[in-house]
Structure 1
Amino acid sequence: MRVVVFGVGGFYRKRKTVFDGVDVVCYLDNNYAGDALAELNVLAPEFICEYKYDVVVIMTDRFLDEITKQLLQLGCPKEKILSYNEFVSLMQQMGEKQCCMKIYYGADNQQNGSGKKVLLVSHDLSLTGAPIVLFYAAVNMKKMGYDVFVLSAFDGKLRERYTKQGITVFIDDSIIVGNIWLNRFLEYFDCCMVNTVTLHRLVECLDSLSIPTIWWLHEGEDIYNVEKIDAREKNAFRNISVYGVGRVACNTYRHYYHGNCKSLLYGIPNEESNRMIIKDGKVRLAMVGAIQKRKGQDILLDALSYISPEERRSMEVYIVGSTLVERNYADMIKKRAEDFSEVIMLDEMNHHDINDIYEKIDILVCTSREDPMPVVITEAFSKGIPCIVSTQTGSSEYITDGVNGFLVEPNPRLVANKITAIMKMDKEEIEKIGKKGYEIYRDKFSLPVFYSNLNVALCNLLD
């Protein structure tokens, strides 16, 4: 089968092994034309007419409709255009992609063999919000006496942290779409905990197998749209207990599935902080998170344009995050940031480096258009960093404006007004608000609170 691959960005790089042994005749991308990849040039889409192919596989999860329309305009037959999930299913049906599960055993293979076997399932093992908080859940379950295993569609830096904890990790990208072999594998476990909406097909499979399962949701409406999940008229599940990280995640699930969804907030460690108040006349703000429209970096930059140049001279603004999620949007943000000398753009950072940013800033800013429960805000709470938080986040339900944080609608002029008002406050007064914000972390997101709530959920599942 001759394949054209459309898209060689981050989505492709995580999943490129699916094309091992496949006859890829060319790679296309709207943004990468001319780059070298696998001894082939990445071409502009217009060159597709020069190749003979059986299918075109779109390797992105956010622009399927737009790219499909583009390919149709270029003369590609509709029946030859496949999404990544459709391609994996086709390969399995043709027998060209058998089980390719990789196994990484935990240190000393420390499963004790006496507890119930629990499988935690993640869409990837990156050092990002949802995968990280699932890791903390795994560590706690192991301490509680469960035999814990982890299954992930894609590998990542988190895998080594699991194996150091004595937890065996399985990697298999077919869990995104499911297969017969996977069903037999799942039946080995007493219960499962599946992380994120992305794995909704696997959840449907688990429900049919009658395996007690917790589905732990972290997403808002945009991911449901990406996954093309249609709203159901009634609850579709019999054996699935659904939990969400707060109001936004729970309400979004109820809208699409019309089933019960209870709140299960995540927990993160309380790491020692060496923050110091720098009295040099500057106010330092940071916005941390992937550069994408949902996160609203453009709202912050537009807000800066409403603040006078004189006031901006007393500011430092750090915008930190990966530019690979939405490349066109990220390019726009980088170009827009060049208009402001006080803005410092930084790429995605590891845990150690982001802590260096936390230690020097006065305020964390979140202007998200939608964000169910951003871990970055919780991290700021845990360090006593005052936060300006969008009302469209789940975190906002725990904040009283001006008492334990600052609330603002994700509107540039309102954000500008909020920032300038805070800049007129004494730094010690701002820090007092940050200390009250720490109480949100202590009472809602600390590991002891999370572990207690998780234990209740597991007991209810297995009763």
Structure 2
Amino acid sequence: IAPNMLFEVAGVLNEKPDTDIIYFDEDKLTADGKTRIEPFFKPEWSPHLLLATNFLMHSIFRRELALQAGAFSAEMDGAQDWDLAFRCVEKTNKIAHIPKILYHWRKVEGSAAGDANAKPWATDAQLRSVSNHLTRQGVRGAQVSQSQFGIIRVQWPHNQPKVSIIIPTKNNAKLLLACLSSIFDKTTYQNYEIILIDNNSTEAAALHYLGLLKRDSRVKIIEYSGQFNYSEANNLGVQQADGDVFVFLNNDTEILDGSWLDDLVGWAVQPHVGVVGAKLIRPDGTIQHAGMVMGLAGHGSHVFDGAPENRHGIFGMAEWYRDYQAVTGACMTVRREVFEALGGFDENYRIGYGDIELCLRAVSANYHVIYTPFARLLHHEGGSRGFFIPPSDVLRASVQMLPWVAANDPYFNLNLSYIKRIPALTQPDEMSKEARIIHIMKQFKLVETDETETLTVLSQKVAGQLTPMSSFGSGEDTPSEARLKIMFVSHDLSLSGAPLVFWLLARYLKSKGYQITLFSPKDGPLRSKYDEIGVDVKIDPAILDYDKLRGDAIAVAQAMQDYEIVVANTILTWTTIHVARALQKPSVWWIHESGRGKDLVASRPEIATAFAAVDAIIFPAQVTASLYTNLIQKDNSFVMPHGLDLDLIKNSIGEAIEKPDKFSVVHVGSIEPRKGQDVLLQAIEDLPPHIQKNLACYFVGRVLDTGFYAKIQKMAQNLNNIHFVGQVPHEQVLAYVQMADLFTLTSRDEVLPITILEAMALGKAILATNVGGIAEVIEHKQNGLLVSSGDYRALASNLARVFDQRAHLSRLGDAARQTFDENLTIDRFGQNITRVIEELDMKH
């Protein structure tokens, strides 16, 4: 024994005087007693590990307990210590582990320490000790055998319950064929059905194979449309399953041992067992999964990953039964009553971590999570759907699982590395478990900092509030009785179109009783308007880093936790959407961007994946929505043109602009190539001289491109009555529009510009290019005039027509105003948004 063993034992007894059994880590000594080798670092109390190996050998037992248990039995010679351990643990759960090596087992000749085959006659006693223990525990008919020397196997009795093997799949017929063929050809257990959850397969080979499978009475095929969600797909499978036991299986697995299902079912039907995991082997023969350790290599990972089979190391063997806190969902078994009691998989997790989260809920409900090495499968890791994980899954897991990660996993050993998946000694310079989580979040573009305290604080506040969302067994939707607290997130507080309409929406919702708080990364002139309507504004640069085009997820989450729903403005607020998904807050994403937005989602996967995380997407125009069609795979997108407040527009018109004695044309828009001021100048130059002489054109807007501004100034030198007004207050902009005979907008690219809506509200005749959403609110010759982008000749022709036939101006203006009143008011827009918000509130 180690010199300090009794001291350490006394310390445990001083702290917990009622402890009955104390065990500790151990190693071996060479025969000469000089060299310590082969350490064995043990987990905390693991009752099912004791079925596989006597890790309580060389332990401290309370005298009264040992005597009460009957002390050593001569009939169990060769396994008398294991037998005594079983009889003692049947009478107490007051067991303590000291994670220090306090016993050194000398490897002398003829000793089991030196050669496991030294006492072959002990095998029968070992098997009987396990069998007798199970019998005393009320398990009748269990078969205990030794699959190879030293490896104990328990085959549990059961009544052959029906098993539903639930397999999500999409395309890749070769993988699915290999998986199902191995089940059909090798499985000795016969009472099973296969539930295939087909997620929009399109490949001809897959569709052909699925067609063949429809003829097989053992197979049900469930159509599952929309964006893939692992948790939702499996919950859907359960709803269609007839079995009393569920096996959740990846389609990139193949059965290796025919008794795999017998073994999983035997464990799953034990009343105290919640979840059962299998041993997964890579094609190269190394272990891919033999259980999970929370905090290993991040949130939690596969222990023994990459190790060969049948190797004894410092954490024992992967061939032993193990208690764990989690096992992988690539092959996971749960009996129906447990799954229903837990409420199914949490659909807030789309791809990753849902299997871990279900296991942790099972542990919290006092069920055991068991790993069995005798259910062996081949796993073509990543074959099903690759290795992609949505940022929202990473963030939710980081917040929710941090307490589990930060604690030392009881089924591991604190002397072992949390970096290396093949068990090895920890090193002094290893990154902390919390720091590893932050590192992973950085990889997913969720944070920039290396600091862990903010995540810890956030987790402490929020983790307990994150409850599972599941379509499995969900009740009816019920609306909330009180008006919601809504978090508005805007990319800025300028007076440009998107922020201004966002303010109008906030104003409308507040008038209906909603509690609105606006978050923005920087201040701006719109702040005063929010102040006027009593909406609190919080400025936080961490909401959006303009250089990196992303927010800090932890900062956003800290801001979000007190709100019930989130409304985010522009595609730049994508981080907010991922955070809302992680914190299970309903989210509405208002996307205005066209070409720029399309470029962003093409180059930034983290932005593209936000489309699957959001609950509702609002587009101002159908043409904008069509740019993102490939990213929208569920019925949650809506086209809603902006709405403006007519009374506010009229009351905001500044001092009247003196109308010239000429035909006045007003163009409102920032000075940049996108707005096409050069095209309008070309059109004016193409007009007959008498029209040019009697036409005055006003360009209102700030200069964004100085080179382009110089170009159009030079073009204007050859023309009469061209005025560059520049940037003026919004009230003065409206005054120019009010003064105009004709409002023009000759953009090359637009979504649905606010200036068009304002001109319509003021009953102005409009001549514009048919780009973006303009053509969705202006119908040519009905409530305005439209020309193709860049077509200055068509623009000139229409200018000449309205100049010569001015009666058309009034008719077009009246029709534009009617369109505005019917479709483009803030009341109509606000009602549509309110309907979306209330539906999301009921669903959540």
TM-score by length of 2: 0.40
Is contact 2:744–2:768 with CA below 8 Å preserved after alignment? yes
Q: Which amino acid aligns with 2:835?
A: V
Q: Could you say what secondary structure the match of 1:249 adopts?
A: helix
1:125 shift after superposition: 0.7
Partner of 2:628: 253
Determine if the alignment matches structure 1 residue 133 to structure 2 residue 501. Answer: yes
Which of 375, 383, 392 does residue 762 from structure 2 map onto? 383
Change (3 A) 1:172 1:284: same
Deviation per CA, 1:62-95, whole angstroms, max 9, x where unpaired? xxxxxxxxxxxxxxxxxxxxxxxx9xx8994266
Q: Which of residues 124, 148, 151 is equivalent to 2:516?
A: 148
Q: 2: distance between equivalents of 1:220 and 1:238?
A: 20
Residue from 808, 821, 834 that aligns with 1:442: 821
- SS of 1:423 mapped into structure 2: helix
- Who is 1:93 aligned against? 449
Q: What SS does the aligned partner of 1:151 have? A: strand
Cα 1:333–1:437 shift into 2, 3 Å: same
Give runs of aligned pairs for residues 364-443 of structure 1, distance below 5 A.
364-410=743-789, 411-426=791-806, 428-443=807-822
TM-score, length basis structure 1 = 0.71
1:256-267 to 2 correspondences below 5 Å: 260-267=636-643
CA pair 454-156 structure 1, distance change in 2 beyond 3 A: same
| Residue 456 (structure 1) shift | 1.0
Instruction: Quote how far apart the aligned CAs of 1:268 are.
Output: 0.9
Contact 1:211/1:239, CA 8 A, preserved across alignment: no
- Is the 2:446–2:575 contact (alpha carbons within 8 Å) kept by the matching residues of 1? no
Q: Quick one: structure 1 residues 129 and 387, their matched pair in 2 at CA, closer, same or farther if it must change by over 3 Å?
A: same
Q: Out of 113, 116, 124, which is 2:492 matched to?
A: 124
Query: 2: CA distance between counterparts of 1:92 and 1:394?
Result: 37
Please say if 1:311 is aligned against 2:691: yes
Provide the residue aligned with 2:551 in structure 1. 178
**Aligned-residue offset at 1:455:** 1.6
Q: Is the contact between residue 234 and residue 258 of structure 1 (CA under 8 Å) also seen in structure 2?
A: no
- Greater alpha carbon shift after TM alignment, 266-275 vs 302-311: 266-275
Give the equivalent residue in structure 2 for 1:462: 841
Contact persistence 1:374–1:393 (CA under 8 A):
no
Alignment deviations for residues 233-272 of structure 1 (CA, whole Å, 9 cap, x no partner): 9884244211111212211232555565211222111133
CA distance in 1, matches of 2:446, 2:580: 22
After superposition, the Cα gap between the structure-2 partners of 1:236 and 1:318, relative to the gap in structure 1 and judged at 3 Å, is closer
Paired residue for 2:581, among 207, 214, 234? 207
Task: Give how far 1:358 is off.
Answer: 1.6
Report the counterpart of residue 301 of structure 1 in structure 2: 681
The corresponding residue for 1:190 is 564
**Deviates further, 261-270 or 375-384:** 261-270
Question: For the structure 1 residues 149 and 276, does the alpha-carbon distance in structure 2 shift closer, same or farther, using more than 3 Å as the test?
Answer: closer
Instruction: Work out the percentage of aligned pairs sharing the same amino acid.
Output: 24
Match of 1:52 in 2: none
Quote the residue 2:672 is aligned against.
292
Q: Distance in 1 between matches of 2:619 and 2:644?
A: 16
C-alpha distance in structure 2 between counterparts of 1:235 and 1:354, whole Å? 36
- Using the TM superposition, give the Cα deviation of residue 330 of structure 1 relative to its aligned residue in structure 2, in angstroms: 2.9
1:271-291 per-position Cα deviation (integer Å, ceiling 9, x unaligned):
338999999762111110111
One-letter code aligned to 2:449 = Q
Q: Which has the higher contact order (CA 8 A, sep 6+)?
A: 1
Deviation string, structure 1 residues 414-454 (Cα, Å, up to 9, x no partner)? 1111111221113x331121011101110111122122212
Moved more, 210-219 or 250-259: 250-259
What SS does structure 2 have at the residue aligned with 1:166? coil
TM-superposed CA distance for 1:227, in Å, is 7.0
Provide the aligned C-alpha RMSD in A. 3.0
1:378-418 Cα shifts (integer Å, max 9, x gaps): 00000000001211131222323222111111211211111
In the TM superposition, what whole-angstrom CA distance separates every residue of 1:173-215 from its partner, at most 9, and x where no partner exists? Answer: 2222222232222122101100111222332332233211000
Between 416-425 and 228-237, report the one with greater CA deviation.
Answer: 228-237
Counterpart residue identity of residue 122, structure 1: S
**C-alpha separation in 2, matches of 1:365 and 1:413:** 15
Query: Residue 230 of structure 1: CA displacement?
Result: 5.5
Distance in 2 between residues matched to 1:397 and 1:190, nearest whole Å: 34
Residue 335 of structure 1: how far off its partner (Å): 3.1
Contact conserved, 1:267 with 1:449, CA < 8 A, in 2?
yes
- The change in CA–CA distance for 1:233 and 1:245 in structure 2 (over 3 A counts) is closer
Alignment partner of 1:93: what SS? Answer: coil
Alpha carbons 2:685, 2:692 under 8 Å: kept: no
Aligned position for 1:217: 591
Give, in whole Å, the separation in 2 of the partners of 1:206 and 1:327: 40
Tell whether 2:617 aligns with 1:242.
Answer: yes
* Counterpart for residue 40 of structure 2: none
Distance 2:533 2:804 in 1: 48
The residue type paired with residue 570 of structure 2 is T
Corresponding residue number in structure 2 for 1:272: 650
Paired amino acid for 1:167: V
Matched AA of 1:268: L
Larger radius of gyration: 2
- Structure 1 pair 93–303 and aligned structure 2 pair: CA distance change class (3 A): same
Give 1:310 deviation, angstroms. Answer: 3.1
| Residue pairs, 1:151-170, within 5 angstroms | 151-170=519-538
Secondary structure of 1:371's counterpart equals: coil
State yes or no: 1:322 paired with 2:702.
yes
Deviation at residue 146 of structure 1 after TM alignment: 1.5
Code of the residue aligned with 1:313 in structure 2: it is: K
Ranges in structure 1 where 5+ consecutive residues have no aligned partner: 1-85, 100-113
Report SS of the residue matched to 2:710.
Answer: helix
Counterpart in 2 of 1:105? none
Q: Equivalents in 2 of 1:174, 1:278: separation in Å?
A: 46
Contact residue 666 and residue 744 of structure 2 kept, 8 A: yes
Amino acid across the alignment from 2:763? G
Are the counterparts in 2 of residues 229 and 256 from structure 1 also a CA contact under 8 Å? no
More displaced 10-residue stretch of structure 1: 255-264 or 434-443: 255-264
What amino acid does structure 1 have at the position aligned with 2:518?
V
Aligned length: 359
**C-alpha distance in 2 between matches for 1:145 and 1:279:** 43
